[in-house]
Structure 1
């Protein structure tokens, strides 16, 4: 993602093909009798602590006001990788949901392996009044985030996020450290080890869901690149050094935790970890749960090097099988992309809204952004945002799993960062041949 593009996104904040029938059936049924609502499924991966309650709220409010459509939300665990696996299994049975959240890392994988309909195609066929909805409400470069390598508008950007550092200022003060937190990874390592030594509490936790998002930020900010020239290239000296420094906190000084994402976030909220490196989308959960002096600050940089922060979040794709369900899917999507719904989504999570006018609207986020200081941690570092690496072809799911396996082995101490990353890079490049 080009630097000027992400700067435009930041300013905006503070401002496919019709499906072939193939005999497939909807997950929730096809056409309904006259006067009945068309029922569709919305697949998402928002756990209760990361937007799940807001999903339920938005679906409930939509269903209450819609005369024609009823939406059923289905939660998929294991984030976007888990959703992809479940979608693969569902499609194999001849069924499909109507709308799905697709993580940025799976843009090409999804579009190469599943049937979808471009949103503008549904609009043009059934909603002439909405003909310019996308053009009017989204910056061209933001819409471009959901275009695949062939130029198809696979879906519409829904969530944008960056990794930030949440800090327990009380614990930092107790350890004799600067309560404003570290600015570099080198300082963070020192802070983590000092917190462990002075307080007995853990100093650091980096998120470990079923993706490599945070680890990409760690390595690429040190000069590594996940891919170069169509091949995996993260096992460079820069990538190995960054991962090794992270692993040493877990396996040698024992100042950092290696546990599940949910457990790690809760350990921070409970006051047992001094610093938490995770998505800004955990903002609402952290603010609600923490009883100490908590803050969110910019992601650390490696000393003397520019930050490279993969854009997290997802886009929404229409996978509805019938004309009635495609129409219903657009009606629900239009509701989700309204100023009020986008504002509710940001307030309930922390995601940066992709629609360009939400930040300034009185019925949007205008007052919220002034009052909520944590959001600045994400909005002030958008000039460092890069694309979340999407491995090409059909290798997406396997490559992601290989990276997760390597993470576990390295943090368990069963293999060195050098060997773990080098072996994983070789395996992924074997898939990409």
Structure 2
């Protein structure tokens, strides 16, 4: 897979913190109201996937602050479990019951599936429709390459909201107790050895790789070894490189018993509780891990495979507008302007670890300038952004089912089934789905 060009551009600008400052984009006017009338606020629903341990508290604060800042719009936030796949399934049900929300988080891996199965409005068209005097909004505040991440067939499906990549968090105290370098491993082979040593020397687990309801983290493991999840529209992850990568993962879980196989929240909590030496998960877990760990914790860049190019899928999401009612469209745009203001973007990054998509937040005095200088755990994610690739999106209506088959494959392999056979069978099943 090709490296995404916008990430190269953003990495350079973010690391230099050389972006121009700009003020709050929301003025509270675009929702439209007549002060001479006593009207009820327009109620809109915002669907997100942020549990309390990954930005949920920040979502709630932003929504509460927005609702308190004006009287025209009332936002109701709704959390959707099972991450982006779960949200897509809930959205399907909402369409069937004619109760569609107004703005939804869409993970990058589900961009094609969402665009092909649901009604939405291109955000640039939305601005022209409800606030034409602000029609240059996206040209002013977003790099072209960042907006391209949300593009499909010449239209923008949504507005980029979150950018992330996986980093390796370390319990330095546990590494030192096991007699290991507290700076951690640099390759996946070294990581396997570190994990076994931690288990042998301390009795605690050495490693956890995040296991949400998607294959984001395992894509990083496989593709950094030279495998491709999809090539020319066909699933190709069961290559020799893919099998080698998954075999290493199985060996840690099944043979060495040095790695945990648990749902995401439980796995991260085990690390926070001091029972795991290393965890490979999104930089968006930085605030949760940094705030709640009572040991010497740090984050380092993702391990690579020796002699091979690091490839990390771009995580995070865009916000897509699903409002159909004209009044709600205007209200939704007013809320989006608030979410994408410098101040709100800064709060979002501080509360999660996601890299902001707007191009003036890092350098703004009321943005992230001081925060990035003080929070060095953000540095690995910024440094390795030039190794990011697109999060694989399975085309057509097969998207959700294909993703589920990858999760089923993971569970079978980590329960001890033959790695190569299981991967080849799953690959064949997915290719039949996409025919």
Rounded to whole Å, the distance in 1 between the matches of 2:325 and 2:12 is 39
Which of 53, 58, 79 aligns to 1:75? It is: 79
Rounded to whole Å, the distance in 2 between the matches of 1:141 and 1:298 is 24
Q: Which residue of 1 aligns with 2:95?
A: 91
Q: Which residue of 1 aligns with 2:105?
A: 101
Q: Which residue of 2 aligns with 1:147?
A: 151
Q: Which residue of 2 aligns with 1:20?
A: none
In the alignment, structure 1 segments of 5+ residues that lack a partner are 16-32
Q: Is the 8 A contact 1:346 1:352 kept in 2?
A: yes
Which of 198, 205, 209 aligns to 2:208? It is: 205
Cα 1:159–1:176 shift into 2, 3 Å:
same
Q: Which residue of 2 aligns with 1:403?
A: 406
**1:13 Cα deviation from its structure 2 partner:** 2.7
SS in structure 2 at match of 1:312 = coil
Q: What is the total number of aligned residue pairs between the two structures?
A: 414
Cα 1:107–1:3 shift into 2, 3 Å:
closer
Rounded to whole Å, the distance in 2 between the matches of 1:115 and 1:211 is 24
Q: Is the 8 A contact 1:39 1:69 kept in 2?
A: yes
Rounded to whole Å, the distance in 2 between the matches of 1:425 and 1:283 is 34
**1:202 Cα deviation from its structure 2 partner:** 0.3
- TM-score when scaled to structure 1? 0.94
The reply to whether residue 7 of structure 1 matches residue 11 of structure 2 is no
- TM superposition outliers: structure 1 runs of 4+ over 2 Å: 1-5, 11-15
Q: Map residues 33-432 of structure 1 onto 2, 5 A cutoff.
A: 35-148=39-152, 150-413=153-416, 415-432=417-434
Q: Is the 8 A contact 1:202 1:256 kept in 2?
A: yes
Q: Deviations over 1:142-170 (max 9, x none)?
A: 0000012x121011000000000000000
Mean Cα displacement is larger for which, 416-425 or 287-296? 416-425
- TM-score when scaled to structure 2? 0.94
Mean Cα displacement is larger for which, 5-14 or 157-166? 5-14
Rounded to whole Å, the distance in 1 between the matches of 2:13 and 2:338 is 20
Q: Which residue of 2 aligns with 1:29?
A: none
**1:34 Cα deviation from its structure 2 partner:** 5.3
Rounded to whole Å, the distance in 1 between the matches of 2:327 and 2:419 is 52
SS in structure 1 at match of 2:356 = coil
Q: Deviations over 1:319-372 (max 9, x none)?
A: 002000111111101100000000000000000100111000000000000000
Rounded to whole Å, the distance in 1 between the matches of 2:280 and 2:395 is 28
